[in-house]
Structure 1
Amino acid sequence: MTLRITGPDGSTAEAVSEAESVIVGSGAQAAVKIQDPRVSNLHVMLKVDKDGSVTAIDLGSEGGTEVRGQRLVLPTALNPGDVLMVGGSRVEVLFGATRPERPLPAGARVAGPVFQGPVATPPAPPRGMQLQTQTRADLPKLVPTPPPMRRCPRRWATAWSGWPLPV
């Protein structure tokens, strides 16, 4: 997979990766770093599936990620050559037949080596919480799971007369 990145100032860079997933962001843990104040530390994950297709997953970024003019809310399959808007930067995702075989134009910078480590997976929700997505264009939220209903002991289920009787 090749990423052609155009920054908000017009500067260009290219990153090439053979990893199963690539995290794009501005932080130290991002495999592909974009120097843009509107890009979150861990902004978007690009995951290469077994069939060679690529899926974009927004990692809860503040500014969001757009593809084909729509904000990413759910994981979205990309077409070769799709452009992601990440903050004020443009990221063209090339894979499959669109992957370039020619060198970059003069003056373009190539990003350093892309981290080839293990695939990043989002952490599981805390115990007692479940991930619930809403229909509006909002990020997934953690919602507490209601506690299980207790059954009333059988002795409490007996009929109660209005007045206590002396024993």
Structure 2
Amino acid sequence: MPIDFSDNSSSIYSRPLDAAKHETSANTLPNIPSIGLSVPEINILDHQISMARGSTMALEMTRSRLQLCKGQINIPHADLRRQKLRQKAQQERENEFYRDCFRMFRQLIITIMESTQNLVLQYHFHPGKGPVKDPRLIRTIILLRVALDKSRAEETEAEKQLKQQWGVPSPLSSASGWL
């Protein structure tokens, strides 16, 4: 039996969980247990953007949204083009936000690794020197504290900018949870 690609049941994303799959003969495929589908993780920021009637890639890939898209009637080419260009611009802004978050995280990791390496090398060359009131250790602690504070401030600013682009009201005290 050939598969009808116009039939929505041909896609795992467009049929309900309890819907039957296409029939195949018992001779062609072995009986393989089905693997459960994993739903994309929606984080707090995605949820806030959704509440402001915006969308992110994680939201667009949820089962319900994919089913809704498959069931939509055909829209005119000009409208579809405008919609896709708007979605592309939104995706670029979202990608920029996550790129900034990754850059901040990478910079924090580099600072931590350099500080750890300096402390290990210091201990290797001066094993008898204790850490109490050691100026290098104090400098390293201050350096790590400054790097963490800088990372938190940049993260908060990036999140604030993304929320402004989506029109999400920003609370006075943002609970930072990315890094």
Q: Which has the higher helix share?
A: 2
| Structure 1 length-normalised TM | 0.21
Q: Which has the higher strand share?
A: 1
